[in-house]
Amino acid sequence: MMLPYFLRLRIAIFMSRVLKLTTTMFFLLLPTDCISSNKGNQNHLGVPLSVEIASIRDLGPLEFHESIRGRDGGFSANFKGCAIMVFGDTVLNTPGDDGMNWLSNSFCRTRDFDAQDNLSDLTDPLNSDGVAKHFLPFTEKESAYNAAHFRPDVPGDKRSRYALWPGAVLVSPKGDMAMVFYSKLRVGSKGPFDFRLLGTSLATWESPDASPIRSEVRSKLEYPTILFPEGDVKIGHGAMVAGDWIYAYGSETQKDANGVSWPCIVGRVKYERALERDAWRFYAGNGRWNSDFSDAVAIMDAAPAVSIHWNEYLGKYIAVYSRQFINNITIRTADDPEGPWSQPTVAVECLAPTSKQAWSYCGMAHPTFAKVGGRIEYFTYCREVDLLKGEIRLVQVTFE
């Protein structure tokens, strides 16, 4: 795909530690809505934003289990009576089952749906030693590879591993199951850019009490659990369910004479056919949905990760995201999942990280906790507070 969103966010963290402040300032001065797309775009800059914000209230960081030093991401959903949140890279204070202090994914849940005073009882599944454990299961081959190449007695410069990063959680229209987007990568040891993206897919999830299932969906491929392998469409960095449809979004970094942009495309499929690659269609503009993803047009300039959902109070779909290099959360609105999307407006000014060369990232909306029909929403963002240590802050947003 373009790089999976957690990968890009991870790269952003590494970049934040090595880029000079002058480089950051250069990107801050770049235009925020220049899209470069070989297939054109449907950005519609003239569409006005259909929302005004009455107030913002910072509720502080979410409180996770003591074994967790930091984690990023945080897509959420209301699944069988639990508010669940899924995360990508998770750094541990205590070694996990494999003796390492690093998980490539994790999740927590709570039955506290009242976020006005932050969330309580965020519970992580734990191993027998009381340490957070992986959310997405590895296959036998992946586990064997990781056991041989990613353990404490393997020299750091020779380690490699498979990683699984979860994305949006998509509860079925009936509420009886969920699907979870995820990316699969091979990560090496020759620096932060030593990785290979192997593709993206969907796992099925029957219950918060059970692990998701990564089924073989393309048995003839090298990695049969992957629905969208290398070279295929790059989506899954944001997704939602609307009626019987899944809408999945993807933004890939582009650089040209106008600056840096993240043109976002969208694909859709009937929920019950989501694991059938041939059933997916991609928005090609002017009301057309084509089977060839190369026909897809950019519907907006977004970010490496975007959360999109319907807000009943506004009578609009809203897109929420954070752009790299800038400490804020942006919002857009639209009448339809494919747009046209409004001009972007800054909704939240984020608390800056402790390092002057870092920036807060991964802004997300959580309609699971919305109140007053969606007039009050809750956003989160990730903030680095120390080396490999971070927090996820919760913000209450009230619309006019």
Inform me whether the pLDDT recorded for 146 exceeds 60.
yes
CB within 8 Å of 143: residues ≥ 6 apart: none
- Tens of pLDDT along 320-336? 999 877 889 999 999 99
- Tens of pLDDT along 365-380? 999 999 999 999 999 9
Residue 114 has a pLDDT of 97
Residue 194 has a pLDDT of 84
Rounded-to-integer distance, Cα 258 and Cα 32, Å: 10
Mean pLDDT across the chain: 87
Inform me whether the pLDDT recorded for 42 exceeds 80.
no
Length in residues, the chain: 400
For the purposes of burial, counting CB atoms within 10 Å of the CB of 267, is it exposed (0-12), middle (13-18) or buried (19 or more)? buried
Inform me whether the pLDDT recorded for 34 exceeds 90.
no
Rounded-to-integer distance, Cα 302 and Cα 238, Å: 11
Helices (H), the chain: 5-18, 21-28, 140-149
Residue ranges of E strands in 172-322: 178-187, 195-205, 228-229, 238-242, 245-251, 254-256, 259-261, 263-270, 281-285, 288-290, 300-301, 307-311, 316-321
Tally DSSP H helices, then E strands, for the chain: 3, 24
Inform me whether the pLDDT recorded for 46 exceeds 70.
no
First to last CA, the chain: 37
Structural domain containing residue 265: 5-399
CA separation, residue 356 to residues 42, 68, 122, 367, 384 (Å)? 36, 24, 30, 32, 11
Query: By percentage, how much of the chain surpasses pLDDT 90?
Result: 72
**Least confident interval from 2-16, 90-104, 204-218:** 2-16
Give CA torsion, residues 249, 375, 120, 172, to 10 deg: -40
Inform me whether the pLDDT recorded for 103 exceeds 50.
yes
Inform me whether the pLDDT recorded for 4 exceeds 90.
no
Closest of 254, 238, 248, 262 to residue 293, by C-alpha = 248
Closest of 341, 274, 270, 273 to residue 303, by C-alpha = 341
Global pTM value: 0.88
The tally of domains found in the chain comes to 1
Residue 25 has a pLDDT of 33
Closest of 5, 3, 21 to residue 352, by C-alpha = 21
CB atoms within 10 A of CB 140: 7
Inform me whether the pLDDT recorded for 52 exceeds 80.
yes
User: Which amino acid would we find at residue 19?
Assistant: L
- Tens of pLDDT along 230-275? 999 989 989 999 999 999 999 888 888 877 889 999 999 999 999 9
- Tens of pLDDT along 155-204? 988 899 999 999 999 999 999 999 999 999 999 888 767 888 899 999 99
Q: In what order do the strands lie in the sheet with 53-61?
A: 53-61, 389-399, 376-386, 361-365
DSSP code string of 71-90 = EEEEEEEEETTEEEEEEEEE
3-state SS of the chain: helix, strand, coil percent to 5?
10, 40, 45
CATH of the domain at 221: 2.115.10.20
| Residue appearing with tokens 């897109």 | 319
Q: Is 122 helix (H, G, I), strand (E, B) or coil?
A: coil
Residue 152 has a pLDDT of 86
Closest of 302, 377, 399 to residue 343, by C-alpha = 302
